[in-house]
Structures are given as structure tokens and as C-alpha cells.
Structure 1
Amino acid sequence: MHYMKSLAVASVAVLSLGLQGCVIAVNGDGENYSTSSYERQEEENRKAIASLTDGVQLAAVQKELGTPNFSDLVTVDGVRYRVLYYRTHRKHADGNTTRDECTPLVFADGVLIGSGELALERIPQNN
């Protein structure tokens, strides 16, 4: 009996050596997680953002791009500025999304006025 238990423990130990370093994660859709899924999403976001034109409504952008990675809201001189940040590129291979890996979309009173850093500069400073 003791011999069988020892053999079973040894077998599990040997078999588990082949699994060391392997991680398989599955997302809610049952697809295997991989870096390429991030890359696909980034590419889709870049394509969608490149096709946007000034004057498109906030709701239409959110419908097409979904929930942003980050969102800011500020009112300056009676104008409500909403900035949505969508991941479009990777700078750090750490699994976390940061603002510097996103493209900002700037809306004034619910209407797109631009994207990228130049659009952010269009928001007046609230002094």
C-alpha cells in the first residue's frame, strides 16, 4: 500500500514537470488568450479611430469602439470636454494598459473635435 502511494506521488511529480512554465488562460468567449488578441484589438481601434471625422457624436463612437480604457471629463468656460482613451499600441509588455499606450479622443459637448495629443491641447486650461 505504501509502495503504491509513493509510486502515485512520484508519477504526479514527474508528469507535472512537463507543465512547468505553461499557462493557458481562457477568456469569457472560450478563446485562448494570447498577445495577438491585444494586437488585434489595437489594430481594430486604430482603424476605427482613423475613420472618424470631426462632428461625430460621442454615443456613436462608444457604440463602435466600446468601453474606453480611460475616460476624463472636465468643464471649462461652460464647455464639457470628455476624453476617451482607447488602447492602440503597446509600449510596455507588462499586461497592463497605460494612458501612453492609448489614443485620446476629445469631445466638446458630446461632439468629436479631434484625436491624439494635438486634440488634447485644444482643451483650454482651467485657470
Structure 2
Amino acid sequence: MKGSQLAALGLVAALSFGLQGCIVVADGDGIHSYDKADYEEREERNRKAIASFNEGATLKQVENEMGTPNFSDLVTVDGVRYRVMYYRTNRVHADGNTTKDECTPLVFADGVLIGTGDLALARIPHHD
């Protein structure tokens, strides 16, 4: 009996070492495992792509390069349609969730990129 308990404990220990550095997320569809390196690679890829864009890039060009944003906002001010697309670029919380503070905003005016980051967000006029 002690031998089988020891073998079971050894198996559990061996399996748990294989999960180091992974995030396991349980949702309604089942369990998904995400390796820490996957997030870091995605964030690095997003940072490089964002840095390569020039003002004047179209919304379609950016979507083709970046894919679906983590978040997207849309507002029309003084007849100009502003879309802000947020892509994850830096992890703040290791909780498996992406929040806007972990993303870089890309700001478009009438479908044309006018800038990235907080400075670009500040270019959107606000009505009081």
C-alpha cells in the first residue's frame, strides 16, 4: 500500500512540474492552457507591428496586420468618426485577463490612422 501511494505522489509531482510557467484558464467550453511565452511573443509581435505603422494607414490595413483588437471604441465628434482599437502590448496583471491598461490604443479618424498611444487618444476632441 505504501509503495502505491508513493508512486501516485511521485506521478502527481512529476506532472505538476510540467505545468510551471503555464496559465490554465477554465471557462464554459473547457480548460485551455496558455504558456507564458505565448503571451510575451504576442505582445512583442503587437509592439513591433504598431511601431511599423505610419499615420495615414487605413483601418483595413491595420486589421489585416493585427487581427481583431482586444477592445474597440467608436465615437463621432463634430462629424468625424473616431475608432480606437486596443491591442495587448504589456502584461500588468498575471491573471489571464486582458485589460485596457495592458493595451496600446490605435486611433483612427474616418478610417485613417492618426496616431497610437495616449497622445493619440488626447487628439480626440471632447464635448462637455
Q: TM-score range by the shorter chain?
A: 0.7 to 0.9
Gaps of 5+ in 2: 25-32
Q: Does the alignment pair 1:121 with 2:116? A: no
Indicate the residue corresponding to 2:109 in structure 1: 108
Aligned length: 117
Indicate the residue corresponding to 2:79 in structure 1: 78
Cα shift at 1:13: 4.7
Q: 1:20 to 1:36 in 2, by over 3 A?
A: closer
Larger Rg, first or second structure (1 or 2): 1
Q: Distance in 1 between matches of 2:23 and 2:84?
A: 32
Cα shift at 1:94: 1.2
Cα shift at 1:126: 2.4
CA RMSD, Structure 1 to Structure 2 (Å):
2.5
| TM-score normalised by the chain length of structure 1 | 0.79
Residue deviations 1:5-53, cap 9 Å, x none? Answer: x89x858854653335764789xxxxx7311110000000000000100
Structure number with the higher strand fraction is 2
Indicate the residue corresponding to 1:44 in structure 2: 45
**Structure 1 stretch displaced more, 88-97 or 98-107:** 88-97
Cα shift at 1:95: 1.2
Q: Distance in 2 between matches of 1:17 and 1:88?
A: 35
1:17 paired residue among 12, 18, 21: 12
**Percent identity of the aligned residues?**
61
Q: Distance in 1 between matches of 2:93 and 2:44?
A: 17
Q: Distance in 2 between matches of 1:71 and 1:126?
A: 20
Gaps of 5+ in 1: 1-5, 27-31
Preserved CA contact (<8 Å) 2:23 2:96: no
Q: Distance in 2 between matches of 1:14 and 1:39?
A: 33
Paired amino acid for 1:115:
T
Residue deviations 1:40-97, cap 9 Å, x none? Answer: 0000000000010001100000000000000000000110000000001111111111
